[in-house]
Amino acid sequence: DAKTTQPPSMDCAEGRAANLPCNHSTISGNEYVYWYRQIHSQGPQYIIHGLKNNETNEMASLIITEDRKSSTLILPHATLRDTAVYYCIVNSGYSTLTFGKGTMLLVSP
Amino acid sequence: EAGVAQSPRYKIIEKRQSVAFWCNPISGHATLYWYQQILGQGPKLLIQFQNNGVVDDSQLPKDRFSAERLKGVDSTLKIQPAKLEDSAVYLCASSLATWGEQYFGPGTRLTVT
């Protein structure tokens, strides 16, 4: 699976949009971009995934660049409960997930 | 819908002792995973089952770790004998098939002294 690069930490004010970047310059044509998050003392939680097109669900939006070499996870109105480690994973969908260190997002009042 | 259940939530043992963890996946999920998460790192896959067969155990330290999934439902992960470096959170996850999103349990925090 392609390797991803994420900033180690980010801050966001409560109520504002949180934009989490991810670089995946070696992504293959059949690989998806998955996002999971892990709140302290809990197991990881699936957020969203996409292949080429932008995706939106009740939790977040995923914006993938046209060349697919990077993506951004957007939490439109961050709350304190969104404080977590966010993992960007590139995966064909049929192979196992390989987690990096992710981005620690701290949402402050 | 009930989530992935794991027990115990916490376990403290001395090195060279043995320990076992239990996982009950989401009903109907054919694929079950065990991950090890060391403090400050992302989860690392130890073993993946499809029903009761092993799909991938390439990162399982087979000299001390073993896992089984009898009848394709519940699973147990065992460590014997434990080492200090086995201190970690052990996460169980399940998915409908060998692809798609995985659903994780709360994990078992193991401390080896």
Q: Is the pLDDT of residue A1 over 60?
A: no
Chain A's closest residue to B98, CA to CA, is: A94
Predicted confidence (pLDDT) at residue B64 exceeds the cutoff of 90: yes
Q: How far apart are CA B49 and CA A75, in angstroms?
A: 33
| B99 with A87: Cβ contact below 8 A | no
pLDDT confidence of B100, banded at 50, 70, 90? confident
Q: Cβ distance B13 to B20 under 8 Å?
A: no
CB neighbourhood size of A39 (10 A): 13
CA torsion angle B21 B26 B32 B35 (round to 10): -50
- In Å, how far are A11, B57, B60, B80, B109 from B19, measured between CA atoms? 39, 19, 16, 7, 12
Q: In which band, very low, low, confident or very high, does the pLDDT at B1 lie, cut at 50, 70 and 90?
A: low
Nearest CA in chain A to B4: A43
Count of C-beta atoms within a 10 Å radius of residue A96: 19
What is the rounded CA–CA span in Å between residue A7 and residue A24?
13
For chain A, how big is the Rg over CA atoms in Å? 13
Residues of B with CB under 8 A from a CB of A: 4, 33, 40-45, 48, 56, 91, 93, 98-107
What single-letter DSSP state applies at residue B64? T
Mean pLDDT of B72-87: 96
Q: Find, in chain A, the residue whose alpha carbon is nearest to that of B46.
A: A96
A35-89, pLDDT tens digit by residue?
Answer: 999 999 999 999 999 999 899 999 999 999 999 999 999 999 999 999 999 999 9
User: Which of B41, B91, B101 shows the shortest C-beta gap to A43?
Assistant: B91
Interchain pair B42, A49: CB under 8 A: no
Specify the pLDDT at position A59: 94
Hey, how many other C-beta atoms are within 10 angstroms of the C-beta on B35?
27
Task: Identify each DSSP E strand in B27-97 by its residue range.
Answer: 31-37, 44-50, 53-56, 65-68, 75-79, 88-95
Q: What pLDDT shows up at residue B7? A: 97
